[in-house]
Amino acid sequence: MQEIITDIEHWHALNKPVTLATVIETFGSSPRPVGAKMALTSDGEMTGSVSGGCVEGAVVEAGIEVLLTGKPQLLHFGVSDDSAWSVGLACGGQIDVFIRRMDWELFKYLKEAIDHARPVAYVTVVRGPALLPGKEMVVLESGEVFGTISEELDAVVKTVVGTVLSIGESRRMILPVERSIEIFVDVLLPAPTLIVVGGVHIAIALVALAKILGYRTIIIDPRRHFSGQARFPSVDRLVHAWPDEALAEVGITPATAVVLLTHDPKIDDPGLIAALPSPAFYIGALGSRKTQVARHKRLLEAGFTESQVDRLHGPIGLDIHAHTPEEIALAIMAEIVLARNG
């Protein structure tokens, strides 16, 4: 949703009705994952993607029909291996796509949750008795609910969605109390964050790569001449403070990667001391093997356990024989993606 939300907002400001198509299930190979979205307007504007080839052409046609009738549609696409690529599916893949008209009242709550980096579930009835398909609600991690499926089902849906939110993975499912009703729970988690300590040259390329991959980016450096806005025009936030103070202010979550690039213990070590006890999914520091051994010793002497110090990735990045700052940034970002994807 994050990648198309700006376009949807723009269309809403112009009072354009919008349909939202979502991949709710995949079978075999599929070019787009569950949760992939495409939004479109009646005058032919589109954003996002659910597949490719003539699949998207069929989705556009159905989307325009949904705009005209207000009735949602559940589409199934499945092809043989021989004809897969011509319709935009790989190796005989199959996908189910649900299309409904955008509910602007619920979109407001959804957008607010996304803006405040709050995990949220966008729940839609995709199959069931008349009048239920297309019913939606938004459920926050806190338990707040906006919208309604029905008086009889809301409590059940909220309980089910709470479990799915805790797992953090979108899924299509049959309601346990009413087997004829299927819902799609679209889990939208906050965008991952990359915190870089040290506004060095590698950081310029690293932030650019992270932005392409959908990361929120933060540069921390007490040395203002290393971290000016002109040097990092696309970064989301610049913090001119010592790393320990800055990390406490910014906050580290399980969706955060922390990278230390100054190669200066006076700056990197305070950042490591703040990051190692945190829930960050990745912590890495620039330096040779010799530098890492010395760093490891200092951290143990500072009171960290072996298991805590072993969280540190160093030498940093995947071994792709990188030499230039841009190649090193690529190696680091690849290792971050690997860590995030398990």
Go through 84-116 and write b for each residue having 16 or more CB atoms within 10 A of its CB, e for each that does not: beebbbeeebbbbbbbbbbbeebbebbbebbee
What is the pTM (predicted TM-score) of this model?
Answer: 0.72
Distance CA 87, CA 329 (A): 36
- 3-class secondary structure for 48-98? ECCCCHHHHHHHHHHHHHHHHHCCCEEEEEECCHHHCHHHCCCCCCEEEEE
| Residue 29: predicted pLDDT | 67
Mean pLDDT for 11-19 is 93
Tokens in use for 110?
């959804």
Which pLDDT belongs to residue 312? 95
pLDDT at 260: 96
Instruction: Say what the pLDDT of residue 339 is.
Output: 95
For residue 180 the two structure tokens come to 């004829």
Q: Which CATH class is domain 193-340?
A: alpha beta
C-alpha Rg value of the chain to the nearest Å:
23
Q: What is the pLDDT of residues 176-224, one digit of tens each?
A: 877 789 999 999 988 899 999 999 999 999 999 999 998 999 999 998 7
Query: What's the pLDDT tens digit per position in 57-116?
Result: 889 999 999 999 999 999 998 754 444 444 444 445 788 999 999 999 999 999 988 888
Extract the tokens encoding 299. 């951290």
Minimal CA–CA distance to 238: which of 257, 260, 219, 259?
Answer: 219
Spatial separation of the C-alpha atoms in residues 258 and 272, rounded to whole Å: 9
The two beta strands, 120-127 and 178-188, are: antiparallel
